[in-house]
Amino acid sequence: MTLSKTGQNLVQITDTHIYGDPAARLAGTDTRKTFIEVLDLICSSHSSYHLVLTGDISMDGSEASYRWIFEQLKSLNQTYSILPGNHDSIEPWGSIFSEVSSDFPTFASVEPWKFVYLNTQVQNEEYGQVCSESLKFLRSHTTAEDASFLVIFMHHPPFSVGSKWIDKIGLKSGRDEFLRIIQHPKIKLVVSGHVHQESQIEIGTVKLVTSPSTCVQFKPYSDVFALGNSNPGYRLITLWGNGEFSTEVVRLT
Ligand SMILES: [Fe+2]
């Protein structure tokens, strides 16, 4: 696929935290309901896009949660990609999300852009890592002799958001090397979830962003766990053929 002059829309949703049991709630929130509300908002705002789910898709890693999510995604009739967060269990993915890769790291080309999907999960831990295989993969795509611009998707953000308890469960290893590798003109944008809030920084010419959850939000700059009062939402990213892009967060009203 080649990008048109009018731009290609990517939509990121993250931290959907769906339970296998429809009656379960996360801090009192029906995560299935807010997920559908966010999807409805996306459907009413955009006719064509590629959807990326950046982890903590399930709250309990259950097959039932993934089957329910699959049905919602199928009904959108759009292409999508998924990658795992600390709450996810990749094992059932192959038989449920059979059209998308559940082998990581992986990538997709939408010329002249490349989307790189990393798995930052550490089994049974809330914190994450950028493993040596991911670093090697990223290095090879950065130095490859093609004209691609890269967007990297990963659950745990490679930067601190200024909230002690959240930053403690960030990337425990591989972060410094990751930040060295992305200092390259090809890398344009790094998109993460995990922190249930919108944030952004720029390192050199690379923009790094996090996005709101489709369910509960965390209070920014809090030293201890606390919920925020902003609404669930998604991130829209529009990519152009010359390597430029724009991005914004859109929330339920
Ligand atoms: Fe997470």
Residue 78 lies in a domain: yes
Which residues lie at CB < 5 A from ion ligand 1?
Answer: 56, 85-86, 194
Question: Would residue 195 count as lying in a domain?
Answer: yes
Task: Count up the domains in the chain and report the number.
Answer: 1
Ligand 1 geometric centre to CA of 183 (Å): 25
CA–centroid distance, residue 215 to ligand 1 (Å): 13
Residue 50 dihedral angles phi and psi, to the nearest 5° = -105, 130
Query: 221 lies in a domain?
Result: yes
> In this structure, what token pair is assigned to residue 26?
């996360």
Residues paired with residue 117 on neighbouring β-strands, in sequence order:
106, 153
Q: Mark the ranges of the chain whose per-residue pLDDT is less than 70.
A: 1-6
Ligand 1 centre distance from Cα of residue 155 (Å): 7
Q: 2 lies in a domain?
A: no
pLDDT at 146: 86
CATH number of the domain within which 224 lies: 3.60.21.10
Please give the residue range of the domain that contains residue 229: 8-251
CA distance 84 to 114: 19
CA 241 vs CA 7, 138, 143, 186: distances in Å? 7, 21, 20, 13
Return the pLDDT at 65: 98
- Give the distance (Å) from ligand 1 centre to CA of residue 16: 10
- Give the pLDDT score at 6: 64
Residue 213 maps to a domain: yes
Rounded to whole angstroms, the Cα distance separating 172 from 49 reads: 33
C-alpha distances in Å from residue 180, one per residue of 57, 158, 247: 29, 11, 23
